[in-house]
Amino acid sequence: MQETHSGENLSATMSMGLSATMSAGLAFELEKTLDTGGINNVDKVYKTVLDYSNPEYKMEWALDKLGIELTTPLVVEVLDRFHFEEKLAFRFFNWAGHQEHYSHKPESYNKMIDILSSTKYKVKQFRIICDLLDYMKRSKKNSVPIEVLLTILRQYTEKHLTHLQKFAKKKKIRVKTQPEINAFNLLLDAMCKCCLVDDAETMFKRVKSKVKPNADTYNILFFGWCRVRNPKRGMCVLEDMIEMGHTPENFTYNTAIDTFCKAGMLTDVVELLEFMKTKGSTMSSPMAKTYAIMMVALIQNDRMDECFKLLADMIDSGCLPDVSTYKELIDDMCLSRKIEAAYKFLEEMGRTGYPPDIVTYNCFLKVLCDNKNNDEAVRLYQKMIEVGCMPSVQTYNILIEMFFRIGDPDGAFETWDEMDRRGCARDTDTYCVMIEGLFGCSNTRDAMFLLEQVINRGMKLPYKKFDSF
């Protein structure tokens, strides 16, 4: 199925058998007319799908609880409402196809293929699903036989070869990997993104004896279980992956840890971290990002002692926090209103011999200022002076911008004068922030005075800023 095929062309092609006779269309219209209460039921189903659209929610369970008798017009109408939400549409379509007293007719297949083939984002994985649905409709089957599935995957690979396969074919190099696995991985990925992870794993078990899975196959399933907040099933996939000789990368472990933390399974996180340190390879050893995810989770659960114990363990293992780690930790602490914990974290870093530098303090200050926490921002500025960390021009720029944002121009002027007292030279950004703030509070006279200073000194302002002034 070529990418340039539109949904209209697909539907027209797949409906050729129906156009030969009007009976199917008349039957569909009659069923639609006789579907009493259908509009109300459509609303109920549509609302249920929306309400339970998050990956961790049991949409299928909620739809089962409705107890609504499905008809083709109802299914088509619901699918039509999700025309630009292909993932939700396919998840609902898949659920409907498993209902006992309902089976998809050509109209519902046409609608689903139309949605997938003309999807808003042109997601390439869905081309394979279109081919599968096409086969199911034409063959009147509820499931695709394994041999046919492999044939479709092979045909898809031949149509849409990867750059590596094109190069290998051109240079006549034999590639050990079965080409079908790339198409199969795309199919699994599409299903997992639609939260159909159970179906994806069932298909994986059917196919793995015929097509040898690679590391990407296991990663897709693992991330699928993480998506639906089921880390236990994800860990089973991870264990199978290791048994098959594939080494999970650090990114995979970090995703697992993040999922465990969000699910409140902190005990499992500790076990996984220990596994990474003792059995993981060099590529999968814990890094600053790994520890940061765990420390944020511990802080959010008011387990500060364990957080600092983990920090000590992190430093002992030779993994030092970088600027991005500091920023992420402090950002999450402030968003969780754990300001004192953030200060304590900085003190603990200093006590262990790794005092925060001006970049770290500026990150902390930026978070406080963005949240309009001016009292804490001033307090942090004073703390910097106390510990001997001299403020930079970026520090003052952040403070000036904050004072104008909270409607305190006097605070901005005091900060401006403080720069002179501290011997900190102003840069172009300082003038831009100050002039923009003065114009914003209608102090045009002072704004024009500073703008004249900038011009007389030959300073080059960004064109967009200058134009706005």
**Cα 67 to Cα 441: distance, rounded to the nearest angstrom:** 60
Could you tell me how far CA 90 lies from the centroid of its own chain?
20
Instruction: Check: CB of residue 347 under 8 Å from CB of residue 311.
Output: no
Residue (of 380, 144, 330) closest to 130 by Cα position: 144
DSSP state of 431: H
Does the reported pTM lie above 0.85? no
pLDDT score of 32:
45
Phi-psi region of 248 (alpha: psi -120 to 50; beta: other; left: phi over 0): beta
pLDDT score of 176:
55
Query: Regarding predicted confidence, which is higher, 14 or 56?
Result: 56
Confidence at 316, pLDDT banded by 50, 70, 90: confident
**Cα 41 to Cα 386: distance, rounded to the nearest angstrom:** 67
Query: Regarding predicted confidence, which is higher, 168 or 112?
Result: 112
Could you tell me how far CA 227 lies from the centroid of its own chain?
9
Confidence at 3, pLDDT banded by 50, 70, 90: very low
Give the tens place of pLDDT for each residue, 339-395.
777 777 777 777 767 777 888 888 888 888 887 788 888 888 888 888 888 889 999
> What is the longest distance spanned by two Cα atoms in the chain?
90
**Cα 295 to Cα 376: distance, rounded to the nearest angstrom:** 22
Q: What is the mean pLDDT of the chain?
A: 78
Give the tens place of pLDDT for each residue, 398-450.
999 999 988 889 999 999 999 989 899 888 899 999 999 999 888 999 989 98
Asked if residue 23 has pLDDT above 50, the reply is no
Instruction: Check: CB of residue 120 under 8 Å from CB of residue 110.
Output: no
pLDDT score of 178:
63
Other CB atoms within 10 A of residue 276 CB: 21
Give the tens place of pLDDT for each residue, 265-281.
888 788 788 878 776 65
**Cα 186 to Cα 8: distance, rounded to the nearest angstrom:** 24
pLDDT score of 234:
84
Confidence at 78, pLDDT banded by 50, 70, 90: very high
Alpha helices in 118-265 (DSSP H): 126-139, 146-159, 163-170, 180-193, 197-207, 215-227, 231-243, 250-262
Q: How far apart are the first and last CA of the chain?
A: 54
Amino acid at 364: F
